Amino acid sequence: METRDIAATGSSHCRQGQLKQHAEPIMTPKQDHSEEGGRNCCVVVGCGESALAEAGAVARRGRPRKGTSGLVTERIVAVATELFLERGFAETNMDAVAARAGSSKRTLYARFASKDALFEAVILKFLRERLTEMQLTIRRDDGLEETLISAGERLLEGAMTPEVIRLHRLMACEGENFPELARTVNEQAWTQFRLFVADVLQQASVRYNEPFEDCEWLATRFFGMMVEPYFRRATLGLQPAEVTEEMRRDVSRSVQLFLKGSRGLSGSV
């Protein structure tokens, strides 16, 4: 299977602007809210999976040993993920993160100046991992329609997991108490997904000579058709966080509708 970046082989068929850089800057950390009282908080329960396979990376408190700094950061983010899911944002504080990670507060604050910055790092790391998995598993050589069906299925599989649903519920619950943080994280998350889909469309347009009008605008429609109805229901607890065969059939039909609409916009039908 060809894995090189198709977009690098020729000019994009997306006619309205170039894609932005995929790497989003981390926003300047804001004040740590962990000590504030009187806030409503939502706790997301059911975090059964442990992300702490590297438990031996920090065997003692204090300055990390040479060569282990990256492992220390990974452990801190993994521990923070568990605590945010167990307790909610408001009830998680930096002391608890340092204690469970087995690191000093100095080590923690050297990496994350505030709880807001740590929470943002948790979300962005989670997104990067999911998007990398999606990129590696999309089938790109079976024709335009099959490429988009594969992309739609990968999006659905990446979104419809218990971990993603819990994180989304957490952000939804805490948004009222911490609106600026919720807005920042949501914008970062949505930008990553939108650019991922736009990149798939851009590469497919080059490979299959499909003149999509505006890949970023179409990416928003594509994501909404493939993911949003099921994701919303799963977030509300109305269906399990899993992908069924019926949902895969819906993806196939949605791709056909998407292609008819996008070709109509471009005047190619």
Q: Return the residue matching tokens 């943002």.
A: 120
pLDDT of residue 145: 92
pLDDT of residue 267: 56
| 178: in domain | yes
What sign for the dihedral angle of Cα 47, 51, 52, 57?
negative
What parts of the chain have a pLDDT lower than 50? 1-41, 43-61, 269
pTM, rounded to two decimals: 0.67
| 32: in domain | no
Task: Look up the domain containing 202 and give its range.
Answer: 141-266
pLDDT of residue 67: 53
109 and 147 in a common domain: no
107 and 64 in a common domain: yes
* Closest by CA position to 226, among listed 244, 202, 204, 250: 250
pLDDT digits (tens, 9 = 90+) for 181-216: 788 877 877 888 888 889 988 988 888 888 888 899
261 and 178 in a common domain: yes
Long-range residue pairs from 72-79, CB within 8 A, at least 24 positions apart, any chain:
72/101, 72/103, 72/107, 72/111, 73/111, 75/101, 75/102, 75/103, 76/101, 76/103, 76/107, 76/108, 76/111, 76/112, 76/118, 77/118, 77/121, 77/122, 77/125, 78/51, 78/52, 78/54, 79/52
- CATH at residue 72: 1.10.10.60
214 and 164 in a common domain: yes
Last residue of a domain, one of 113, 130, 150: 113
- CATH at residue 158: 1.10.357.10
**Number of domains into which the chain is organized:** 2
175 and 90 in a common domain: no
pLDDT of residue 141: 80
pLDDT of residue 115: 94
224 and 156 in a common domain: yes
pLDDT digits (tens, 9 = 90+) for 8-21: 333 344 444 433 33
* Residues 6 or more apart whose Cβ sits within 8 Å of residue 209: 13
176 and 75 in a common domain: no
Tokens of 9: 């082989």
